[in-house]
Structure 1
Amino acid sequence: MSDKTAKQIAEFIKPLQVKPGSEIDVAEDFDPRYSAGMKKRDCVELVRTGVALLAEYQNRLAAEARYGVLLCLQGIDAGGKDSTIRHVMSGVNPQGVRVSSFKVPSAEELEHDYLWRYAQRLPARGEIGVFNRSHYEEVLVVRVHPEYLDRQKLPAEAKSPGVWERRYREINDWERYLTDNGFKVVKIFLNLSKEEQRLRFLKRIKRSEKNWKFSAADVRERQWWDDYQQAFSAMLSATSTAWAPWYVVPADRKWFARMCAVGILIHALMEVDPHYPAVDEKTRKELRTTKRLLETEAAEGVEPR
């Protein structure tokens, strides 16, 4: 990829990044309907091109097997996490991608520390891991519903005032540990408006093929909308770091959100800059010898390719 293209991608996603150390109000500072003046048809074509580029980068990442990438997707219900994964990862080799969805913790998971279940699903070197919801649930849904904290069987001092600030610090330290060990952490928050969420819920009810996605519990969560917005803002402010910044992607227009996600992931892989491993002279000599041997075995009349 040319330096010019790389620079263009970096400039495009720059307005979406939460500046490390800044304090933001997601409702005031980020517009869910922002589209940078782009049209749907242009974004669809750019996503197609981006997916092909991601496939090339994934091949290099897998071949080098030195770095791993963790993509964390967060957002309110109906924010488009599933469709983002489906479109963005549509062209990559499924053997090199691991998608994990995190729902209500199991009894076994509650017997461990709150990051344990996420650590079990981290990507290996050479892989792209995708968290559909992530460890940030522990400072979002658990914060909005503090009764969930009681289920984690924590000692009293672990639930004392300041618990959320401590968790922000612990998460930042954990992500710093991952990046220090060669795992790029990419964090995308899909920013959906309350009205667009209402319309998407209605679509799930009206269209029979989408009924399976509907959950009355998701609709009930709307009564805590303002609490979630405050929790989102606090999380984004406290955990957007130099080593793992947050990107707030406008999610009301799915076609624009997908293009943003592709651009952010490509940018991250460009920073990793994986390469196909070079072979030494001994290996090259063996390749030449093997090539000649295979060519002599060709059937009569068959031209070497």
Structure 2
Amino acid sequence: MNERITLRVAIIGAGHIGATHARAWARLADAEIVAIVDPRRDAARALAETIGAVGASVYADADALFAAQGEGVDAVGISVPTALHRVLTETALAAGKHVLCEKPMALTPTDCDAMIAAARIAGKVFTVGQVVRFFPEYANAKRLVESGAVGTPASVRTRRGGDFPHAHDDWYADVSQSGGVIFDLLVHDIDWVQWCFGPIIRVYAQGLTERLADKRLDHLDYALLTCRHETGVVSHLEATWADPGGFATTFEIAGDGGLLTHDSRKASALTKAVRGTGTTVQGGISMPASPLTPDDNPFYRQIAAFAA
């Protein structure tokens, strides 16, 4: 990214994902967290203490950060409600900072285009945190497909879901802030299947919405997309906020030479079945015992790639 010995980083957002990013940044040898921004200053201070960023300054908003420390920050990590992504990204880029923005990029194509334009004008690195690309099982599946492990791929099924996410001010329940389950969860799989199988050219979508009586807000609890890719592959992408059994992910990639499957609830994270042999290989594909072991933490790998 640049030739500095130490990359000085400001974390904007001290919630769950912001804290996850901060812990990953704290592990990076050539980075130093110099500031944490959150309207809840106590949460920002607590995060600084947790990750050992004893010298980090705490600010209530990004304007205060850049006014006080404009030249002392090289890069910014943004992990805030989705509706704020564009304005904070543009502010950081205009201040001459590199930006890693948590997914989803923004709520509208117009906002996304504006963020890209701002990065080009600033001449800075701008990355959206599509962390699933860095999960070993997903990255290995892409590698195996490209090596011909399933022959010519024909169809893909993904599922991602868990219980409804309750965050500060319950902002996920407000679709105007979060974008709902498609923007929160399904965006991971939309990105991954296009990374693996090419651009989507046609979509058929269905969803179920539940009304929250207490706040009179509607939120999309379930979504199912059937997509046709330029390559001819058909993908079925499913996401839910209505599964009380805990968060889990699965995928299935079928081709004329075999089948790759993944289920995060099973010990063998990636399974290959070979067509015509009647055999299934479990654990025969090199995988870490956990995708969150120190050397393979996907958030760390994502941040290291951004900082490189």
TM-score of the aligned structures, taking structure 1 as reference length? 0.30
Larger relative helix fraction: 1
Structure with greater Cα Rg: 1
Normalized per residue, which structure has more strand? 2
- TM-score, L = length of structure 2: 0.30
Question: Which one has more relative contact order, counting CA pairs under 8 Å at least 6 apart?
Answer: 1
